[in-house]
Structure 1
């Protein structure tokens, strides 16, 4: 078999690529096409062709002027035709707008994905050779307002969410010359189809019973039906609001948060065996076995003063932290902790920390709302289900 050998001169290839006029050709073609488009639009505005005499004429040509337009192909220098009445405005760009819509969306997307405003300016300057102001990027972000508002206020009555997760995180926002901490309330749900969804968000002055109640009332007003189970940490205001706004709903105390609380009151040395036994309680296959393991642990260590607080906390929180046993076993790993919404918070935090301090509540709602919309879209487009709900029906029938 004949073998063909060849060598590739990488330096020569690199030089040819660098000398390529492809970019210049694209820019020239785009410029020519847009200039022709504006001439046609001017004729339509005047209602006459060049040098034509007509009673339908609306105005007269008045030369042209150069104007730059930032596009994904780079910065284009266009010849914009004028009319004497000054009323002609080409559709290539809105009046006083020098950036095409596609490039605007690209800049918005960069900010939503965690690129700082300063870096967006650098990227635009690097690729287009044009500086854009920080205020322009901020104004572009305001275009998200109607989109985010529509998503935040969408109806929730199209399907039932048997499981709801709730949590809050804190962000920094400017109020005049002050920088204050604000609570960001977030709720996610698992639908009867087993798909996860971001139900809503709300920024409040703090995390209290009143702020959580306002948030839950808004979700209910949008059509959220009473869930079977709400999963969260044991924040007093949150728990109080869950019990008052969702009467008849069970509350699952996050086992992971409880474990950290128990470990926090254990002696730092010599308590590894107890930590393992606590984990075994919540890994038990049935509630009966979990209760037996808990009682045995308390009986063994309950009289020792150094374990007294830990055993008391475990005993008091046991019922609230084992509500997941009332549901199908294949749901337990997802229901016993609020880890799923904690991971969502981490994703928000990863992008939010680049901002560090939001200039106001509106900008915080806008950006975080866009981030949550993006995450929610990811949930919707995911082929696999978060939970297999069909098995729940089958198992209940077997019982």
Structure 2
């Protein structure tokens, strides 16, 4: 039997083609090469060349059929060999199918990373020479649904999260032909390795006590135990939901938000010393020292005009704002604020600014979930830890 050997690295060929200016001659060459590859595959399958008689032959040729095939550099027409029993199948399409799947994944990645649907369709047209509709790109993103749902509903049983950060942000969603605001609830937990992990998110109605309780119940149904400390802002509904949902957990009021509220209540002039004392207060290493600084502040300012409101706010929120001081000193900078959620929110905002209005709640859940899942994989990778305990802390 005459042997025809052709070694072809399809992936390498594709890469080289993508970097070249394809024209009709080049495409014709690709068609010729791929047709030859399929012809050789049929010979190998039959164990006999054309018109060759031998005892090892397993079947007979049965002509060809034409097939259009769209690759990332355009559409080509191939002549696909057939056999009588119909069991022969070329590997060419499977190899390129895997390559084309990479293009689909790239499209999904573009969408998740904040590229608008219009720009994605334009990029695909430039790459493939084929037009795709916006609805086609939108339908592709639905492939994210099972991935996001599985991640969002994964079990937390067997994991301990001593510290949990929670926050909510608002997005716009079209609902019943109206544009409404929806709250995106997000929770980050610090796991046994002192690394951050996005443990839950949900898209629901406006931020409220009931909304937060439902969110916490979902976390608990997946296995979350009451953490040692929950860190958040002082939204009244959130505060109450934490107290009712996590019995025995402490609540740390974000000191950044608290200081901002205090400073907003100050007189317009001559407050530099007061601001400095407040900053010193939250830099204390233990509650006892912080309470002493607080007493000094009250002694110095309780008789001064214009400070009544800010001192009342400080008195009411003080204990909730110093709970982090009961933890190891090396944890304080990370535990006293919700700042580590700010970057996460900015990632959501970046995508939300492109879309502006989500077409429905499911699309918001899908894309925000994909963003969070992708971002979660970048948190504290390798041996890096979010909370680092010094020997002197123990």
Please give the secondary structure, in 2, of the residue aligned with 1:201: strand
Please report the TM-score for the alignment, with normalisation by the length of structure 2.
0.82
Alpha-carbon separation, structure 1, partners of 2:41 and 2:364: 41
Q: Which residue in the other structure is 1:319 paired with?
A: 319
**CA gap 1:310/1:27 in 2 versus in 1, 3 angstroms:** farther
**CA gap 1:50/1:245 in 2 versus in 1, 3 angstroms:** farther
Q: Which residue in the other structure is 1:247 paired with?
A: 247
Q: Which residue in the other structure is 2:273 paired with?
A: 273
Q: Provide, for residues 31-64 of structure 1, a one-character-per-residue CA deviation record: whole Å limited to 9, x for no partner.
A: 5565567678999999x99899xxx999976731
* CA shift for structure 1 position 124: 1.7
Gaps of 5+ in 2: 1-15, 53-57
TM alignment of 1:75-114, pairs within 5 A: 75-79=74-78, 81=80, 100-114=100-114
Does structure 1 residue 264 correspond to structure 2 residue 281? no
Q: Which residue in the other structure is 1:293 paired with?
A: 293
* CA shift for structure 1 position 182: 0.2
**CA gap 1:279/1:21 in 2 versus in 1, 3 angstroms:** closer
Gaps of 5+ in 1: 1-16
Q: Which residue in the other structure is 2:152 paired with?
A: 152
Alpha-carbon separation, structure 1, partners of 2:30 and 2:373: 34
Alpha-carbon separation, structure 2, partners of 1:370 and 1:193: 24
**Number of residue-to-residue matches in the alignment:** 368
Q: Contact between 1:281 and 1:294, CA under 8 Å: does it hold in 2?
A: yes
* CA shift for structure 1 position 26: 8.8
* CA shift for structure 1 position 277: 1.3
Q: Which residue in the other structure is 2:164 paired with?
A: 164
Q: Provide, for residues 278-299 of structure 1, a one-character-per-residue CA deviation record: whole Å limited to 9, x for no partner.
A: 1111112322121111111112
Please give the secondary structure, in 2, of the residue aligned with 1:381: coil
**CA gap 1:241/1:272 in 2 versus in 1, 3 angstroms:** same
* CA shift for structure 1 position 65: 4.0
Q: Provide, for residues 359-384 of structure 1, a one-character-per-residue CA deviation record: whole Å limited to 9, x for no partner.
A: 11111111100100011111153431
**CA gap 1:242/1:63 in 2 versus in 1, 3 angstroms:** same
Q: Which residue in the other structure is 1:369 paired with?
A: 369
Q: Contact between 2:68 and 2:75, CA under 8 Å: does it hold in 1?
A: no
Task: Identify the match of residue 66 of structure 1 among 65, 68, 75.
Answer: 68
TM alignment of 1:352-391, pairs within 5 A: 352-379=352-379, 381-389=381-389, 391=390
Alpha-carbon separation, structure 2, partners of 1:207 and 1:91: 54
* CA shift for structure 1 position 355: 1.2
Please give the secondary structure, in 2, of the residue aligned with 1:306: coil
Please report the TM-score for the alignment, with normalisation by the length of structure 1.
0.81
